[in-house]
Chain A
Amino acid sequence: MDILTRSQSAKIRSSGTPQIVLKARNVVRRFGGVVALNNLDLDVVEGQILGLIGPNGSGKTTFFNVLTGIYAADEGAISFLEKEITNLPAPQVFRSGIARTFQRARVCLSLSVFDNIVLGDHPRLQQGLVFNLFRRSSFRREYEECVERVRELLEMFAPHLVAKMFEPVETFPMIDRRRIEVCRALFSSPRLLLLDEPSAGMTHEETRLLVDEIVALRTKRHKLSIIIVEHEMDLISRITDRCVVLNFGSKICEGTYDEIASDRNVQEAYLGVEA
């Protein structure tokens, strides 16, 4: 199966071989008797947006959780940038360059925008007790650097939030919380971004805005690959290069949006038609 879109193939032909950043092979995860992921194979190509779709309970979020180290895989292997990351603890997966958002915008509501975003690059901050508590002028330098970096990031993705950087997130509407969550995930400059239902809890109009922003994101971060889990087919059709469709934990189809949309298996999975 051709995993590259036409425009991408053209790009790669001119610049060299396509690099597969994430490679998952035969990933299995069971919960009691339920097989949530069944021998899943999945590749992500550098710079591409991969849509991960399927009915409720088909294993999309479970895949994210296995990938990021929240759940352990029962079988299979995952490698990222040629490095084995299967069943590493969550912090180490993050350090290898994978950042994510969550289904229900898990930002810290009582903390400020700055606090939330700065948490997104936790490993790069100096964490020593002495540094934090007693070398306050050094700490202050690092802090001011961070303020600058957060400001730059916000200016790029959510300029209207710059002036409100020190206000608690709970004062903002859902779409801003999503933006803050995406900024948190981008703050460490990851190589792979996992977006888990970014449209959940938002209006149609807000979703449209967010899509535009994600599209714009590609032009700003060329090397960033994205996996997006979504139910809004509109969104999927507009931004993905390639889609993988899951049903009952198994991959039933893979291809461009147009290809999967016309696939009989996919239609059956969604409409529940007997084969």
Chain B
Amino acid sequence: MNSISIYRNIFVSVLLGTLFVVAMMMAESQVAVLSLIVLAAVSCIVLQKKGVIRKLGSDFASAEKFANGTIMIGALATAVVFAGDHFILLMLTTVLIYVVACLGLNIQFGYAGMVNFAGAAFFGAGGYAAAVLTMQTGLPHLVVLVIGGLVAVIVGFLLILPVLRTRGHYAAVVTIAFSLLFRTLVEVSPVLGGAQGSPVTGMVIFGWNFNEGYQIAGFDVSFYINYFLFALILTAVTFTIVRRVERSWIGLNMDSIRIDETASACFGMNVARWKVTAFTIGNFFMGIIGAFYAMMLGFIAPNNFTFGDSLIMVSIILLGGIGSIWGIILATGIVIILPEKLQIIQEYRFLIFSLGVILVLLYRPNGLLSRAARTYFPGLLRGAR
């Protein structure tokens, strides 16, 4: 009986959320977009005040599989609604791409506490790997994706020594310097296409050509639906792995290192091993999704991987709430979609964005959805008590 009300609550809130996203995507006029934003903001504040959000949070936590499945269906339904619309599908896929990249960064920054201001560089390393491999070799594209991830990992290994040896501000300078270095390097390197960038082949997996649209019952389906679906799969896989990292001894080790390195070492922990692990897993995800991004755009240029993009990735994590997976997903949605829809702020997006991050850091340092305490096996907790 109680559990039925939990399922109902989850279903209703995911339904409302999906409807909101659909409405947001459909809204054309600035007035409509603005009203939707105000509506969302006001209802969030009201629900928060009434304690509904907290109740929903515990409902989602107690029926996690059902909740995740429902959200997945919601995402698919959204894609079906906009199956004919290039622009909207591209935007939604971009959100998913940033989610994967930020989840990777989250392992480094949110769990192990390693600052990485070169996220876009690792993302770009994967992208350039895809450019070279798809243009010059006939490797299957799934392999290209994996190599993209590996290239990011290898590039990361170049930094591993300074990253392990430095802390705090000094660690920040290593990654900031690398971010600027990478951008300049690809810009001046003739092999990688210089400032003009390089073309990338669209994705083909087992004969499934991502760059071809469909006609279903006389209805044109955008080819971006392929990319969206594949990105959704990648997101689900990344989500699962990051969750499992969090809910294992590995996540515990990383938390412990973030909070107190010295104490961790005093309890037998090999601090360097877990830092390397976090750095490697994170870069791998960023590289894979960078390769995917490049194949989707069909083109990459140094301007896609600036220091500013790295900053956006770090900010998404802070906005969402450090270490909070759903927080990151929410924050990515806001950061990517809002400026696209709100044309009046398009020009001012970076300005508003930086102002927003400053305000959140000042007044809500835990982000939008702060990370919940670790449960290794949700649902089991009650039994364990």
Chain A residues at the B interface, C-beta cutoff of 8 Å: 68-70, 89-91, 93-95, 99-100, 102, 106, 108-112, 115, 118-123, 125-127, 129, 132-134, 136, 139-140, 143-144, 147, 163, 165-168, 184, 188
- State in angstroms the CA–CA spacing of A176 and B381 once bound together: 22
Known: A118-B252, A133-B248, A133-B250. A102 touches B375 (CB 8 A): no
B266 touches A100 (CB 8 A): yes
Dominant SS among interface residues on chain B: helix
- State in angstroms the CA–CA spacing of A207 and B268 once bound together: 29
- State in angstroms the CA–CA spacing of A144 and B376 once bound together: 10
Cβ distance A111 to chain B, nearest Cβ, rounded Å = 6
A119 touches B266 (CB 8 A): no
B277 CB within 8 Å of chain A:
yes
- State in angstroms the CA–CA spacing of A143 and B377 once bound together: 9
B260 touches A133 (CB 8 A): no
Contacts of B248 in A (CB 8 A): 132-133, 139
Cβ distance B17 to chain A, nearest Cβ, rounded Å = 28
A122 touches B244 (CB 8 A): no
A68 touches B373 (CB 8 A): no
A108 touches B255 (CB 8 A): yes
- State in angstroms the CA–CA spacing of A118 and B374 once bound together: 13
**20 examples of A-B residue contacts, CB within 8 angstroms:** A89-B265, A90-B265, A93-B266, A94-B268, A100-B266, A108-B259, A111-B259, A111-B374, A115-B252, A118-B249, A119-B264, A119-B269, A122-B264, A122-B268, A132-B248, A133-B245, A133-B248, A140-B376, A143-B376, A168-B373
B265 touches A115 (CB 8 A): no
Chain B residues at the A interface, C-beta cutoff of 8 Å: 241, 244-245, 248-250, 252-253, 255-256, 259-260, 262-270, 277, 373-377, 381, 384-385
- State in angstroms the CA–CA spacing of A167 and B384 once bound together: 13
Cβ distance A233 to chain B, nearest Cβ, rounded Å = 27
Q: A91 touches which one: B250, B255, B260, B268 (CB < 8 A)?
A: B268
A122 touches B269 (CB 8 A): yes
Most-contacted residue by chain B among A69, A139, A167 (CB, 10 A): A139
Nearest-CB residue, chain B, relative to A112: B373
A123 touches B268 (CB 8 A): yes
B253 touches A122 (CB 8 A): yes
- State in angstroms the CA–CA spacing of A90 and B263 once bound together: 9
Q: B277 touches which one: A100, A121, A129, A168 (CB < 8 A)?
A: A129
Q: A70 touches which one: B266, B267, B376 (CB < 8 A)?
A: B266
Known: A108-B255, A163-B385, A166-B385. A132 touches B249 (CB 8 A): yes
Known: A127-B250, A133-B248, A143-B376. A122 touches B266 (CB 8 A): no
Cβ distance B305 to chain A, nearest Cβ, rounded Å = 28
Q: B384 touches which one: A95, A123, A134, A166 (CB < 8 A)?
A: A166
Nearest-CB residue, chain A, relative to B265: A90
Nearest-CB residue, chain B, relative to A143: B376
- State in angstroms the CA–CA spacing of A15 and B60 once bound together: 60
- Can you add 12 more A-B contacts, CB < 8 Å, to A106-B262, A108-B255? A91-B266, A91-B267, A100-B266, A109-B259, A111-B256, A111-B259, A112-B374, A122-B249, A122-B267, A127-B250, A166-B381, A168-B373
Most-contacted residue by chain B among A68, A100, A106 (CB, 10 A): A106
Known: A111-B255, A129-B277. A184 touches B373 (CB 8 A): no
- State in angstroms the CA–CA spacing of A125 and B253 once bound together: 11
A127 touches B373 (CB 8 A): no
A68 touches B250 (CB 8 A): no
B266 touches A94 (CB 8 A): yes
Most-contacted residue by chain A among B269, B270, B376, B381 (CB, 10 A): B376
B267 touches A94 (CB 8 A): yes
The 7 closest A-B pairs by CB, nearest first: A132-B248, A90-B265, A94-B268, A123-B268, A108-B259, A106-B263, A91-B268
- State in angstroms the CA–CA spacing of A269 and B264 once bound together: 35
